[in-house]
Amino acid sequence: MNKWPEVPLLSSPIAIDPTWIDYNGHLNMAYYNVIFDRSLDEMLLPVGLGPDYVRETGCTYMAVEAHICYLREVFRSDRVRVALRVLDVDAKRMHLYCEMRHAADDWLAATSEWMFLHVDTNARRAVPWPREIFDRLDAIRIAGAHLGMPERAGRRIGIPRKE
Protein backbone atom coordinates (compact mmCIF):
# COMPACT_ATOMS: atom_id res chain seq x y z
CA MET A 1 0.00 0.00 0.00
CA ASN A 2 1.67 3.20 -1.18
CA LYS A 3 -1.05 5.75 -0.50
CA TRP A 4 -3.31 6.38 2.46
CA PRO A 5 -6.66 8.05 1.73
CA GLU A 6 -6.72 10.93 4.25
CA VAL A 7 -4.35 12.16 6.92
CA PRO A 8 -4.77 12.90 9.70
CA LEU A 9 -6.98 9.91 10.48
CA LEU A 10 -10.11 10.98 12.37
CA SER A 11 -11.98 9.16 15.11
CA SER A 12 -15.72 9.05 15.47
CA PRO A 13 -17.18 11.79 17.70
CA ILE A 14 -16.92 10.89 21.38
CA ALA A 15 -19.43 11.91 24.05
CA ILE A 16 -18.10 12.67 27.51
CA ASP A 17 -19.21 10.11 30.08
CA PRO A 18 -20.61 11.88 33.18
CA THR A 19 -18.42 9.71 35.43
CA TRP A 20 -15.33 11.25 33.76
CA ILE A 21 -16.12 14.70 35.20
CA ASP A 22 -14.11 15.54 38.31
CA TYR A 23 -14.73 17.82 41.28
CA ASN A 24 -13.46 20.79 39.22
CA GLY A 25 -16.45 20.34 36.93
CA HIS A 26 -14.44 19.35 33.84
CA LEU A 27 -13.00 16.24 32.20
CA ASN A 28 -10.55 14.62 34.60
CA MET A 29 -7.00 14.47 33.22
CA ALA A 30 -6.94 10.65 33.28
CA TYR A 31 -9.88 10.47 30.86
CA TYR A 32 -8.11 12.51 28.20
CA ASN A 33 -5.78 9.50 28.03
CA VAL A 34 -8.76 7.11 27.89
CA ILE A 35 -10.20 9.06 24.96
CA PHE A 36 -6.86 9.10 23.13
CA ASP A 37 -6.38 5.37 23.76
CA ARG A 38 -9.88 4.37 22.58
CA SER A 39 -9.47 6.56 19.50
CA LEU A 40 -6.17 4.91 18.63
CA ASP A 41 -7.86 1.52 18.83
CA GLU A 42 -10.55 2.70 16.40
CA MET A 43 -8.25 4.49 13.96
CA LEU A 44 -5.63 1.74 13.74
CA LEU A 45 -8.13 -1.01 12.86
CA PRO A 46 -7.85 -0.25 9.11
CA VAL A 47 -4.07 -0.65 9.43
CA GLY A 48 -4.70 -4.20 10.65
CA LEU A 49 -4.04 -3.59 14.35
CA GLY A 50 -6.69 -4.58 16.85
CA PRO A 51 -8.13 -7.54 18.76
CA ASP A 52 -8.15 -9.83 15.70
CA TYR A 53 -4.48 -9.05 15.04
CA VAL A 54 -3.56 -9.96 18.63
CA ARG A 55 -5.61 -13.17 18.51
CA GLU A 56 -4.24 -14.25 15.12
CA THR A 57 -0.56 -13.28 15.53
CA GLY A 58 0.08 -13.11 19.27
CA CYS A 59 1.51 -9.63 18.68
CA THR A 60 0.32 -6.17 19.62
CA TYR A 61 1.57 -2.62 20.08
CA MET A 62 2.28 -1.30 23.56
CA ALA A 63 2.93 2.26 24.73
CA VAL A 64 6.38 2.89 26.18
CA GLU A 65 6.12 6.69 26.45
CA ALA A 66 3.39 9.32 26.22
CA HIS A 67 3.18 13.09 26.62
CA ILE A 68 -0.14 14.95 26.91
CA CYS A 69 -0.59 18.72 26.71
CA TYR A 70 -3.89 19.93 28.21
CA LEU A 71 -4.87 23.10 26.34
CA ARG A 72 -8.55 23.76 27.01
CA GLU A 73 -11.12 22.41 29.41
CA VAL A 74 -13.59 19.82 28.18
CA PHE A 75 -17.00 19.69 29.88
CA ARG A 76 -19.80 17.12 30.10
CA SER A 77 -21.76 18.76 27.27
CA ASP A 78 -18.82 18.65 24.83
CA ARG A 79 -18.19 16.01 22.17
CA VAL A 80 -14.67 15.53 20.88
CA ARG A 81 -12.81 13.86 18.00
CA VAL A 82 -9.22 12.73 17.80
CA ALA A 83 -6.95 13.24 14.79
CA LEU A 84 -3.99 10.89 14.42
CA ARG A 85 -0.72 11.18 12.51
CA VAL A 86 2.14 8.72 12.23
CA LEU A 87 5.25 10.83 12.71
CA ASP A 88 7.66 7.95 12.25
CA VAL A 89 7.87 4.18 12.09
CA ASP A 90 10.78 1.77 12.01
CA ALA A 91 11.21 -2.00 12.26
CA LYS A 92 9.77 -2.24 15.80
CA ARG A 93 8.53 1.23 16.80
CA MET A 94 5.72 3.63 15.97
CA HIS A 95 5.75 7.35 16.88
CA LEU A 96 2.24 8.84 16.88
CA TYR A 97 0.86 12.32 17.44
CA CYS A 98 -2.80 13.03 18.21
CA GLU A 99 -4.95 16.11 18.64
CA MET A 100 -8.23 16.11 20.56
CA ARG A 101 -10.61 18.70 19.12
CA HIS A 102 -14.14 19.78 19.89
CA ALA A 103 -16.31 17.79 17.48
CA ALA A 104 -18.51 20.73 16.40
CA ASP A 105 -16.39 23.86 16.93
CA ASP A 106 -12.95 22.34 16.17
CA TRP A 107 -11.07 24.05 19.02
CA LEU A 108 -8.00 22.22 20.25
CA ALA A 109 -8.48 20.65 23.70
CA ALA A 110 -5.32 18.53 24.04
CA THR A 111 -2.45 16.90 22.21
CA SER A 112 -0.81 13.56 22.86
CA GLU A 113 2.43 12.14 21.57
CA TRP A 114 3.18 8.43 21.90
CA MET A 115 5.96 5.92 21.30
CA PHE A 116 4.86 2.32 20.86
CA LEU A 117 6.72 -0.95 20.48
CA HIS A 118 5.49 -3.89 18.42
CA VAL A 119 5.49 -6.74 20.96
CA ASP A 120 5.22 -10.51 20.81
CA THR A 121 2.80 -11.15 23.70
CA ASN A 122 4.15 -14.67 24.31
CA ALA A 123 7.84 -13.74 24.41
CA ARG A 124 7.06 -10.32 26.01
CA ARG A 125 9.64 -8.61 23.83
CA ALA A 126 9.75 -6.24 20.88
CA VAL A 127 9.69 -7.84 17.44
CA PRO A 128 9.59 -6.43 13.89
CA TRP A 129 6.28 -5.37 12.34
CA PRO A 130 4.93 -7.67 9.63
CA ARG A 131 5.72 -6.10 6.25
CA GLU A 132 2.08 -5.27 5.43
CA ILE A 133 1.52 -3.50 8.78
CA PHE A 134 4.78 -1.58 8.45
CA ASP A 135 3.85 -0.55 4.88
CA ARG A 136 0.44 0.75 5.99
CA LEU A 137 1.93 2.71 8.90
CA ASP A 138 4.61 4.13 6.62
CA ALA A 139 1.96 5.10 4.05
CA ILE A 140 0.16 7.11 6.75
CA ARG A 141 3.48 8.74 7.70
CA ILE A 142 4.21 9.64 4.09
CA ALA A 143 0.66 10.96 3.52
CA GLY A 144 1.06 13.38 6.44
CA ALA A 145 4.69 14.37 5.88
CA HIS A 146 3.70 17.56 4.04
CA LEU A 147 2.07 18.80 7.27
CA GLY A 148 5.51 19.12 8.91
CA MET A 149 6.38 18.39 12.52
CA PRO A 150 3.57 19.43 14.89
CA GLU A 151 4.46 22.35 17.16
CA ARG A 152 3.91 20.32 20.33
CA ALA A 153 5.73 17.17 19.18
CA GLY A 154 9.07 16.43 20.81
CA ARG A 155 8.43 18.69 23.80
CA ARG A 156 10.02 18.10 27.16
CA ILE A 157 8.90 19.05 30.62
CA GLY A 158 11.05 21.35 32.72
CA ILE A 159 11.21 24.61 34.60
CA PRO A 160 13.64 26.93 32.82
CA ARG A 161 15.96 28.66 35.31
CA LYS A 162 17.54 32.03 34.86
CA GLU A 163 21.19 31.95 35.85
Close Cβ partners of 25 (under 8 Å, ≥ 6 residues apart): 75
Bridge partners, residue 118, by sequence: 61
What domains sit in the chain, N to C, each tagged with a CATH number?
9-144 (3.10.129.10)
Euclidean distance between CA atoms 103 and 87, whole angstroms: 23
Identify the CA nearest to 120 among candidates 92, 148, 83.
Answer: 92
Per-residue model confidence as pLDDT tens digits over 114-135: 999 999 999 999 999 999 999 9
**pLDDT band at 112; cut points 50, 70, 90:** very high
77 three-state secondary structure:
coil
* Encoded amino acid at 69, one letter: C
Q: HSE of 68 in the Cβ direction (CA atoms, 13 Å)?
A: 15
Task: Answer yes or no: is pLDDT of 87 > 60.
Answer: yes
Measured over the CA atoms of residue 125, residue 112, residue 79 and residue 141, the dihedral's sign is negative
Q: What is the pTM of this model?
A: 0.92
Task: Answer yes or no: is pLDDT of 105 > 50.
Answer: yes
Task: Answer yes or no: is pLDDT of 1 > 50.
Answer: no
List Cβ<8 Å contacts ≥24 apart for 56-61.
Answer: 57/130, 58/120, 58/121, 58/122, 59/118, 59/119, 59/120, 59/121, 59/127, 59/130, 60/118, 60/119, 60/121, 61/94, 61/116, 61/117, 61/118, 61/119
Contact 14, 79 (CB under 8 A): yes
